[in-house]
Each structure stands twice: as C-alpha cells, then as structure tokens.
Amino acid sequence: MKYQEINGRLVPEGPTPDSSEGNLSYLSSLSHLNNLSHLTTSSSFRTSPENETELIKEHDLFFKAVSLCHTVQISNVQTDCTGDGPWQSNLAPSQLEYYASSPDEKALVEAAARIGIVFIGNSEETMEVKTLGKLERYKLLHILEFDSDRRRMSVIVQAPSGEKLLFAKGAESSILPKCIGGEIEKTRIHVDEFALKGLRTLCIAYRKFTSKEYEEIDKRIFEARTALQQREEKLAAVFQFIEKDLILLGATAVEDRLQDKVRETIEALRMAGIKVWVLTGDKHETAVSVSLSCGHFHRTMNILELINQKSDSECAEQLRQLARRITEDHVIQHGLVVDGTSLSLALREHEKLFMEVCRNCSAVLCCRMAPLQKAKVIRLIKISPEKPITLAVGDGANDVSMIQEAHVGIGIMGKEGRQAARNSDYAIARFKFLSKLLFVHGHFYYIRIATLVQYFFYKNVCFITPQFLYQFYCLFSQQTLYDSVYLTLYNICFTSLPILIYSLLEQHVDPHVLQNKPTLYRDISKNRLLSIKTFLYWTILGFSHAFIFFFGSYLLIGKDTSLLGNGQMFGNWTFGTLAFTVMVITVTVKMALETHFWTWINHLVTWGSIIFYFVFSLFYGGILWPFLGSQNMYFVFIQLLSSGSAWFAIILMVVTCLFLDIIKKVFDRHLHPTSTEKAQLTETNAGIKCLDSMCCFPEGEAACASVGRMLERVIGRCSPTHISRCEISLSSLCCR
C-alpha cells in the first residue's frame, strides 16, 4: 500500500513489513499522538484527548473494514504449520499466505495485517481478525459480490458486540455518491491526487443497521437470491437498496506496477503497424498516468479528451470540436481519452463521427469501461469499413467478454486469476511475450498456413489438369491417364509429407531477426499472402506446370516416336506414368524451393518422397501381385526407366517447370524485395542463436557473460572479416 487516507487525513507513506504480530508499534503509537502529527494533513486536527480516542476509533474501523471487506482466501498449507488449522488465534501473520482474484484486495489485507489488524481466516459463517494480538470473531452475514458494473463490493457482518455493520469498498465514483457522512470532499481531492500519480484507488465506507433494518434487508436478499426469474436484476436492485446512506471511512491507493518491457512491447506493436487501444476499468487520471508511463501516450502527443459528457448534444458538440482540432492542430500525433459514459453517448447516435476521430488518433484510451462496453468497442472496430483484424489482451475476469469478442483473444495468466486465460485463444504469462507470439510465432504460422493452403491448390491443379487434357485425346472415353493406385496415393503418400513438415517447421527468417525487427510484420499485414494476386499466381503456376507435364510428354514421346533401342514404342500407361513421374518430382522440388529452413527431417521427407515413389513403382509394376485382378502397370515403370530418352524428358520437363518460377523469384527479389526478403539476407550466426535464447533466462545470464568474455578473447584471434560478424553477435549479447 502506498498511501492511505483515513477520513480526510492523508498518510503519506504506507507501513513497512514488520514483526510477526504485525506492526504493533504503529497502532500502539496511535495512543501517543505526538508520534502521529506527521501523518496528518488536516489543519483542524488538534491532539486533544477526545481527538485521540476519535482518531483511534477511525483508524480501527478503517482497518477493520479493509480486513473484512474482501473475498481473500488463506492458503491451507501455510496455516497448517501452527496448530490445528486456520482458526488458530496464535497464528503468526507472517505465516499466512493470502490468495485473491484481485491483487488490490490482497495488497490491502496484507497491509492491514502489517499494521496489526490481521485477517486470519474465514469460513462460511465467520471471519476472524486479530487486532493487536486479540482475536475477534465477526459473523459473516452476507457478501454483496463485486461486479464491474457496480464497481464496488460489500460485506455485512455482525461484530462481537452484536452490532450489524456493512463495510463497502469500491471505485470513488460508486462509493462517494452513496455517502452521507465523513470527509467526502477532502477524500475526493486526495483520491484524485493519488490517481494522478498512477495509483489504483478505492474508497471505503460503512453503515450500521438497526435490527429492524437488518431483518428487512435479510429478507430482501433471501428473496432475490432464491428468485427463479430475473435473479440478476433483482439482486442488483437489492444491492442498490442496501448500499446507501454510507459513512465514508477513507480511501486507499495501491500501486499497480507495470510488468517489465511493457513500453518496449507497445512500441514494437506500433512499429509493426498495429493500432493499440487501451480499454480499462480504471479511473481517468490513473489510466492517463499509466498510459504515459507505459508509452501508450507520449509527452509530445496532443491529448484530446471526451469525458464527463452528460447529454447526446453535448457529446456531439465535443466530438465535432475534437474533429476540428485534429485538422487544425499541426501536431503529428493525437491521443484520445474517452470514458465509459461518454463512450455510450457517443456510440448511441454519433458512431461515425466518433470513429472518424478515433481513426485520426494514433492512440486511444478508454477508461471506466464496464466489461460489456469493452466488448462493444471491439465489435465497433470489427465492423468498421476497414474490417480490421482485432486482437484483445487482458488479464482479469472483466476482460473475458472483450477477449471472446475479438478475432484473436489472448489471456495473461496473472495476479487476477485464470479466467481470462481460460477464455482465450492463446494464453501467455507476461505481456512482453506478446511480441514473440505475434512477430515470431504469428509470422511463422501465417507463412506456413498461407503456403500450405496455396500449395495444396497448386499441386492438385497440377494433378488433375493433365487428366482433363487427356480426355481430348481419348475421345472422352473416361480412360484415366494415371493408374488407379497412383490416383489414390498421389495426395496420401507421394506429395504429402514435404508440405506437412514445411508447415510445422518452416522458419523463413531467423526468429531473432523477426523479434528485433517488428516492421517485418507489415509484410504480412492485410492478409497479403492470401490475396487474390498470390492465389492467382499459384493457380496459374499449377496450370502452366500441368500443361508442361502433359504436352511435354506428348511432344517428347508422342505416338510416332520410338524411344527404346529395340524399336518398341511406349503405350498409353507409359505416357501417363511419365507425366505422373515428372509431376511428383516437380511438385516436390517446388516445395524444396519454398523451404528456407532445412533440417534433417526436411531432407528426409523431400528426397525420401521422390525415392519412395521410385521404389514403390518398381515393386508395384515389377512383380505380378496375386491379389490384384488386373495389373495395367506391369513392367511399365521399369520399361520407362530403361529408356535414356525418357530420363532426358523427365529432367527437361522438371527443369523447364521450375526455371520459370526461379526466374520470377530472382527478378522479384532484385527489383522490389520486401523487407522480409532483405532480412533473409542478413547473416545469422548459428552459434550465437543458441546463446541468445540462453540469455532469455535469468540463470542463463551468468553463463552468457562468461561466454561473452570468451568470445571477446576469441575475436582477438579472428580474421578481420570474422571480427565484424562477431561484434554484431557480441553486441546482441550485451543488449541483454
């Protein structure tokens, strides 16, 4: 806890971890007010005996509220070690391990424990708190659960004295309007100050119930919870009825530290041509401050605001003004801040105008968003005229709806539980891994899938077109060009493995280059590799290859040509087999030409497929198989291979087919290479690659340093050409 604010008095520095009994000196010091003067800002505060008791009461109630109003759980393992369970009153707080779905709650309960008000366990019916070593049992009557629309939660407890109390905590916008007592205005100012520092704030309040009041609300809660229809609405109405007439106790501010490399990751996303929007439930000031610190907003940016709009017309006017400012202000970049209520007004009737403003802003920040609003924003972007692909990243339960709405949903397994991760398409452990996920794995899989799909079309066009052309020469007699076994095995055995292995292993550029140069991602943006142009290219390539297979075979071993030494001529099946053989080789070598990353598996399946075809054909046609009724291919393949001219025909046709493709590739690469193609030329040192990945782990860093030193020594013995290469590798080591 960074700050606490108790009834208008600001405590600038939070308590520090202390003894096993909590920071007893802190609370006991409350009774010696000379120690307390530095904690207060209220000038009206005097250290008189009445104030002293009042202050102790306020502090006590505030911390009681903090340690009772939550849904934190205690780890059983930790509590087992002293006595017989979590109810042990002599349990040392340092042995307690708190678990919560909200990191704020955990921080607050831990902070209260350090002060000396230790939450030591709960069951369905009681909550136990130890105040300065004295055990107090609170009967837990009801929990009014937190939800992101209400932005608050409450508990109703029965104090040991028998009093029935409601403790509520939540966003200042949802608690302060419900308060009728306490230092509301002072607290509001303090909360704003905290938020400007980028801290996450919560307000804490309480209410006392008379027994009659409690009976009434108990009845209402029971009715709502057991309702068979519209339970949610009924519960919301009851919560609304209960959480009112509160007395403000104070506010808390918790620092929500950014994970490491958030700034770098956001910068990389931007360089990759990805537009970043931040959607958060946080307060406006907190959200802006966090956006500035994470690099979403820059100091040089012109920040436009659409906040606190009350009506449609006011909102429309503000939007028009913003649109005007964007055209008039000669600033390169604009950032837009919009809050939940203004956003719903903007989307009601002025959707187009709003989108127009957003389109001209390089960064958009939406704060105080309810979960469904986050999903709505994603839908709005999805259906905008540009039809962009949306990706949502979130870590909390309030991000689930937006994760599900986006084309790609990514959940971060973090302090806020696993709900987001469980509902996502991909789950990552840290935000920084997003760049590797997109720029390395995303890029690889896009290339792999794009090639896989188009190659399949290509190889089947190659396969079926000669059969079609053949019909013109066999009087449409339904005679097949290839034997039925070849027809069956073409896609299953002869040409399946190279593309399968390609689509699993291909790395067209070194992964480190991809990660360090996010701009390469632009080469595959807008589905560039699956565009009509590339699809047509592959299809035309397939047709041209098929024409070469068919007419090449026809010309080279046509009916009047004798190709065997003894004057024998080839028949129908030999003609078909020749075309088929050329096809299997061409299609496989074409895959080899597409492959940039050669492993032994690629070699095995590529050359293995061709060898398998030959070996299979030799056995298939070379033996009279007893279980085959008729064997059209008997000795056909062997006869084909025994002709030198057939070998010449095969080589000539394969080379002709691939030559066209190679020429196109060479011209393309030299005349207008893409950045990815340029990067492919960047030399990468295989030895350094494994070092690089080693450095990603903390344990690897020490090893890296020593290897780095060793390399430096080795450089001294290198030739000048090698030195420059080593230096690049070394500098990449030193960056870490």
Residues at the site binding ligand ATP, with contacts judged by CB under 6 A: 102, 104-105, 146, 148, 151-153, 169-171, 202, 280-282, 396, 398
Query: Tokens at residue 416, please?
Result: 């806020």
- What is the rounded CA–CA span in Å between residue 561 and residue 567? 9
Q: Which residue is nearest to Mg ion (CB)?
A: 396
405 binds, among Mg ion, ligand ATP, none (CB under 5 to 8 A by kind): none
Query: Tokens at residue 156, please?
Result: 């109703």
- What is the rounded CA–CA span in Å between residue 621 and residue 569? 18
Residue 159 or 258 having the CB closest to ligand ATP? 258
- 169 annotated to a ligand binding site: yes
Residue 338 or 582 having the CB closest to ligand ATP? 338
CA-based nearest residue to 468, from 458, 452, 481: 481
Spatial contact of 146 and 175, defined as CB atoms under 8 Å apart: no
CA-based nearest residue to 263, from 391, 103, 431: 431
- 716 annotated to a ligand binding site: no
Residue 148 or 602 having the CB closest to ligand ATP? 148
Helix (H, G, I), strand (E, B) or coil at 380: helix
282 binds, among ligand ATP, Mg ion, none (CB under 5 to 8 A by kind): ligand ATP
Taking CB under 5 A as the rule, does residue 552 contact Mg ion?
Answer: no
- 571 annotated to a ligand binding site: no
Residue 9 or 374 having the CB closest to ligand ATP? 374
CB of 32 to ligand ATP, least distance (A): 33
Helix axes 312-328, 340-349, angle to 10 degrees: 90
291 binds, among Mg ion, ligand ATP, none (CB under 5 to 8 A by kind): none
What number of other Cβ atoms are within 10 A of residue 540's Cβ?
Answer: 12
CB of 287 to Mg ion, least distance (A): 12
Residue 366 or 679 having the CB closest to ligand ATP? 366
- 281 annotated to a ligand binding site: yes
- 310 annotated to a ligand binding site: no
CB of 399 to Mg ion, least distance (A): 8
| Count of residues that interact with Mg ion, criterion CB under 5 A | 1
Which residues in 363-402 contact Mg ion (CB under 5 A)?
396
Residue 392 or 679 having the CB closest to ligand ATP? 392
- 194 annotated to a ligand binding site: no
Residue 26 CA neighbour count, 13 Å, CB half: 23
Query: Tokens at residue 322, please?
Result: 């913003």
CB of 254 to Mg ion, least distance (A): 12
CB of 395 to Mg ion, least distance (A): 7
Query: Tokens at residue 339, please?
Result: 């809050």
- 134 annotated to a ligand binding site: no
- 425 annotated to a ligand binding site: no
- What is the rounded CA–CA span in Å between residue 152 and residue 154? 7
- 225 annotated to a ligand binding site: no
CA-based nearest residue to 253, from 112, 413, 108, 357: 108
Classify residue 417 by its DSSP letter: B
Query: Tokens at residue 721, please?
Result: 């050409």
What number of other Cβ atoms are within 10 A of residue 735's Cβ?
Answer: 9
- 41 annotated to a ligand binding site: no
Classify residue 221 by its DSSP letter: H
CA-based nearest residue to 175, from 208, 143, 153: 153
Residue 14 CA neighbour count, 13 Å, CB half: 19
CB of 203 to ligand ATP, least distance (A): 8
CB of 305 to Mg ion, least distance (A): 23
146 binds, among ligand ATP, Mg ion, none (CB under 5 to 8 A by kind): ligand ATP
Q: Which residue is nearest to ligand ATP (CB)?
A: 281
- 395 annotated to a ligand binding site: yes
- What is the rounded CA–CA span in Å between residue 262 and residue 295? 8
Spatial contact of 109 and 22, defined as CB atoms under 8 Å apart: no
CB of 121 to Mg ion, least distance (A): 25
Known binding-site residue numbers for Mg(2+):
395, 399
Known binding-site residue numbers for ATP:
105, 146, 169, 200, 280-282, 368, 374, 398-399
Binding site for Mg ion (CB under 5 A): 396
Known binding-site residue numbers:
105, 146, 169, 200, 280-282, 368, 374, 395, 398-399
